[in-house]
Structure 1
């Protein structure tokens, strides 16, 4: 017995010594102008300065070790030159922005921005485990970790890094389809742990001012980004992980979708009903009934069920002629009962077990195997299916269950990769197959790729993520702004929800209407639900249908504004939905707010998230005054106001000094033209000068911006004591033919009828009513024009 006790004590002592082993500084080497290697007794730290606001840190067991290639990050050659400051006690290297301070004894690593400490290693990486701890400030607010419903401040939570579906969630979900290894803080920094394997992200769950990242295997590497403002942080992060390509314009329109349309006749009837009700529509989504009459046993067929869809080519061609695109659901699971099972076996495209055979297991839909999207053979095989469907007339793709929803640990992927090594990047790799093949075979087209799971950087493969199978309740609705805002700050700016909610059969017209009104100001407008209660407004009560129609029409009126947001996302990495703290980054209270947010730069939106809610408490950012979008009432910035809610819309406000373009309403975006747009300017004497730009191209050709096939309309307004001046500059690139010839202008909050309005020196007519100055049919010329308003 004594021998056993002694042995246990020795084991405990050994474990304690390993845990308590102190890291000791050994040497320091400058590898080039921007890269440094630090040797310790536990391994090597490599610090690579990407630019003045971005730093990559890697831990190497040996100085010559090569870490696995990143699945998310691509680093261009650095143009930063660093001169280290070395003393007996410390080593410092800084870019006059982001910096590193090394204390030799006792050994410590601190990260700084402009001399101010951001965070420091508590326990650095070691040779034994993929684990690192950071010490953080007592009061800083911590966010990130992907898509979760936990509240904006996620400090105090331990977050599993394992993509998993959560059916029917409401106000709380600790684990969802995007579990990203990202932390961002109210101290204006972002940490990206560059390792896709499954693991854990502990955001101070022990309340000891520590965040911990731990992975099951893989690279010991992270990127740290810090800046004066969130716009620069986001631009730097999306430069590293990739910008979202500009989507086709039709993707910003309205979708008809449900689980699901059972036949060609039902599909065509639904689209016809939208036309009859004059509710704008741009796409119809076919759920799994397009390839099988039953839910069970048909997954993997991936070809039209001829009894239900006797002539899919004619159907999709007919829809296209009406301006309607067809989007098809696909899944990565191949059931043994599917029509393609033998084909998949013969082509060797399925994930293996330890014996080298296709691994099969039970799943809700039947006994299944999984397509190995990492295997070049499977990539080609899968793509050829998409290519054939595209030839039949399909325009967009819906990738469902791509966590993958059931992914046993014993599965072995191409390259002898274990399931947990590739689980979190499965959805991204799937989107990459479609995106890369479009670039190779259809380089002029912009693909539409709707998926619910992926990893950091998935946005560069045109992925449009959605928030999974949310419950059809007020609780499910209430978590949606938080999820979209958090994901937008982590690079995935098109995160959106099934409008109206998905799971369950709750028939609540008020909830449905409020969700669709919110949808006007979320990235993708797509009502979708289980078929027990209709998701489409054309099948709802007159009350719900009429209010939904107003919301959808507003969505189409805002198309030029929303397309500009898409352009900003594709070039700058800015999300379409933006949290209030972007506006006031030093106002810590705002880091907790998700129920009011910015839609782009100029809209302040506060959706109605409770039943029978007659008042809504809204914070108005202090940076401007704000105008009610519907009544033009003015609100001062820097305060909370209880505003009355209206049945027809949700509280929506416009920044003073903003130009808001409103287009004509069309049945589909196919009829949209960047012409005859009414620009509302929200005048405020406190805003002496204002400028906005609006991007336009043909709405469908890939890389229009890179190929100089676009136009930008620049509008500038200056206000002086005796006169106000509107400057209009039409920038038309050499490979674009514009049809823009005139616009209309409406000045809101204009207190006095002007004495005259001059266009390029000549008097033009105008109207003045209810403090609105209305000037119609203003000609647009190439180059600059001027409009003078004499007071």
Structure 2
């Protein structure tokens, strides 16, 4: 129902002011317009876009920009104008604010949403550097996050020089044009286009959209729990996780047949193993980046040479309670077997100037982009590749990698503009994976996990993973970013997140330390899935089975992860019912304390457990905030701490973890120390 104009007491609708008007939603001021401070401006864009291996450089030179100050009512909406005439129209229908450029050719919109003084803002999808996003701009464009992500570091500078690959604080696999504020208001841009969330001006929350019309969905609640629940309903909730995924560790090995022998070493050390993940199941190739996978997702002579009798081995593992997981992505290499099948079926995106397959350079090999805008292609990939080649072989899940690389100059089967399709691509990729699970009755039993995302990915993807962190403690690309990523993604409807335990990216002499591996195992135990990864250069880096101490460490924390399974089952069921994420910012349960709004280095695991991982090198104690009132009990010593800020000892195997003594899971939490000790 369209919103009407009203007087000062109107809760939702347009309200005239002495110098303009304001728009209210659920009693909250959403935007305010005056001649001195226009709410909307428009222009015509001149984009300049460069893409190299999933890294993008995007610039614009907008022309004829107008920030119209005059306004007049237009039925139940409002038209803004300048001296030349009407410029833009605003209309509110229910919770949907539509802003339309009225001048022919205008394809850029800027909207200034109202901000209260001191208001805190979160959002932008999965953000790796900042939970509270005040004071910064966040372009919304799915891409490689980059290596280093900090322009002041030498590693980032090297990666930028080598191929725009250094990244920045805002680059992310999973952006989303949604923000939440501490007035418990949320605004979502319902569009796939390139956009920017701009919080650099404390007087407003700015949104730039590369479109001639933009629809903004508004949400309001009395607190953050209800607001997050509304957003999870809007974007889709994940099914509860299967018991095997939460009941122990998934060991990542990519050593061909030797992976099975190495797995026995983990088991002999006392590791609780519920899965073996071999991303190299389809074969490997060697590049300057490191050992890469052969992107031809099927059982072939190449895969048989690396993993002979794979289906029989998968069945034998399952009989022991261990699932087998694999890997796939939405591209096929042009020197593989499935490429010819894809060409014959018309399954690839094409060049704009010919009917040739558009090939993308992924780093010393080229691939075709599977065109998911075509229904027949979605069905082919879901059935032929994910169904027949993976699920029918007994695989219980996989890493559904990539999704960020759609070039902006391809020709797509549905005729859509690739600039519009680019951000939508991860959602289409998630849908194809979900189709495969549904076709075999495996929804909620098999699990695929993705790093790429955009609005609505949660309706299809059961689990996020935090992408390719560097193997270090650095502020913007190391171990700590996986906490920020989980917390930010959880606010916009993603219940489950986890990371590559041990990190992934090792370049230019940056290699794992034993300290990093130990601290990452401590962190990974308190995530819904605990999964190790050997990284991009496994031969150059320590692995958990490189020496007995590291192996014993991983085994200890796998037992903690397994012991938490009944609590995680409770949280998983809660997520399905309410949309609450498992890993939560402190303010989600303690919204009346603004001091908690920017805390991003610790989290609530559900309502009853507080986890403060060690994410700095050489740290043996750390500052911990215990929110609310009443006591929190230290898991490892049983000592009670009052609410407040404390410096807590944090030696190896005892990261600061606390629980509420009155929790119905208190006995389980008290037993974690015994599980750790074995």
TM-score class, shorter: 0.7 to 0.9
* Aligned-residue offset at 1:167: 4.2
1:659 touches 1:680 (CA, 8 Å); kept in 2? no
2:108 touches 2:212 (CA, 8 Å); kept in 1? no
Q: Please state whether the residue corresponding to 2:392 is helix, strand or coil.
A: helix
* Aligned-residue offset at 1:444: 6.4
- Which residue does 1:731 correspond to in 2? none
* Aligned-residue offset at 1:610: 2.0
CA distance in 2, matches of 1:356, 1:454: 29
1:256 touches 1:528 (CA, 8 Å); kept in 2? no
From 255, 264, 270, the equivalent of 1:262 is 255
- Which residue does 1:427 correspond to in 2? 426
Work out the number of aligned pairs and report it.
573
| Distance change (3 Å), C-alpha of 1:459 and 1:513 | same
* Aligned-residue offset at 1:463: 3.5
CA distance in 2, matches of 1:500, 1:359: 35
Q: 1:252-276 CA distances to partner (integer Å, 9 max, x unpaired)? A: 2444454x5232x212112222222
Q: Please state whether the residue corresponding to 2:98 is helix, strand or coil.
A: strand
CA distance in 2, matches of 1:219, 1:441: 41
- Which residue does 1:784 correspond to in 2? none
2:490 touches 2:583 (CA, 8 Å); kept in 1? yes
Q: 1:626-659 CA distances to partner (integer Å, 9 max, x unpaired)? A: 111122211112x211112232221111113112
- Which residue does 2:197 correspond to in 1? 201
- Which residue does 1:120 correspond to in 2? none
| Distance change (3 Å), C-alpha of 1:167 and 1:316 | farther
CA distance in 1, matches of 2:365, 2:211: 32
Q: Please state whether the residue corresponding to 1:625 is helix, strand or coil.
A: strand
* RMSD, aligned α-carbons: 2.8
* Aligned-residue offset at 1:28: 3.2
CA distance in 2, matches of 1:439, 1:289: 23
- Which residue does 1:327 correspond to in 2? 325
Q: 1:12-52 CA distances to partner (integer Å, 9 max, x unpaired)? A: xxx998614335223334xxxxxxx5566545534233xxx
- Which residue does 1:311 correspond to in 2? 309
1:27 matches 2:6:
no
2:135 touches 2:202 (CA, 8 Å); kept in 1? no
- Which residue does 1:108 correspond to in 2? none
Q: Which has the bigger relative contact order, CA under 8 A and spacing at least 6?
A: 2
1:223 matches 2:217:
yes
1:298 touches 1:337 (CA, 8 Å); kept in 2? no
2:122 touches 2:180 (CA, 8 Å); kept in 1? yes
2:471 touches 2:511 (CA, 8 Å); kept in 1? yes
* Aligned-residue offset at 1:220: 0.9
1:595 matches 2:595:
no
| Distance change (3 Å), C-alpha of 1:128 and 1:427 | closer
CA distance in 2, matches of 1:125, 1:559: 58
1:300 touches 1:331 (CA, 8 Å); kept in 2? no
2:249 touches 2:558 (CA, 8 Å); kept in 1? no
* Aligned-residue offset at 1:450: 0.9
CA distance in 1, matches of 2:599, 2:519: 19
1:442 matches 2:463:
no
* Aligned-residue offset at 1:488: 1.0
* Aligned-residue offset at 1:226: 1.8
- Which residue does 1:579 correspond to in 2? 585
From 614, 625, 633, the equivalent of 1:627 is 633
1:376 matches 2:375:
yes
- Which residue does 1:58 correspond to in 2? 98
Specify every segment of 5 or more residues in structure 1 that has no aligned partner in the other structure, as ranges. Answer: 1-10, 30-36, 50-54, 63-123, 662-677, 682-745, 749-791
From 177, 180, 185, the equivalent of 1:184 is 180
- Which residue does 1:245 correspond to in 2? 239
CA distance in 2, matches of 1:429, 1:313: 29
Q: Please state whether the residue corresponding to 1:232 is helix, strand or coil.
A: helix
CA distance in 2, matches of 1:579, 1:232: 14
Specify every segment of 5 or more residues in structure 2 that has no aligned partner in the other structure, as ranges. Answer: 1-43, 45-61, 81-85, 151-167, 674-678
Q: Which has more radius of gyration? A: 1
CA distance in 1, matches of 2:170, 2:445: 34
Query: 1:524-563 counterparts in 2 under 5 A?
Result: 524-530=529-535, 531-532=538-539, 537=544, 539-563=545-569
- Which residue does 2:648 correspond to in 1? 643
CA distance in 1, matches of 2:297, 2:650: 48
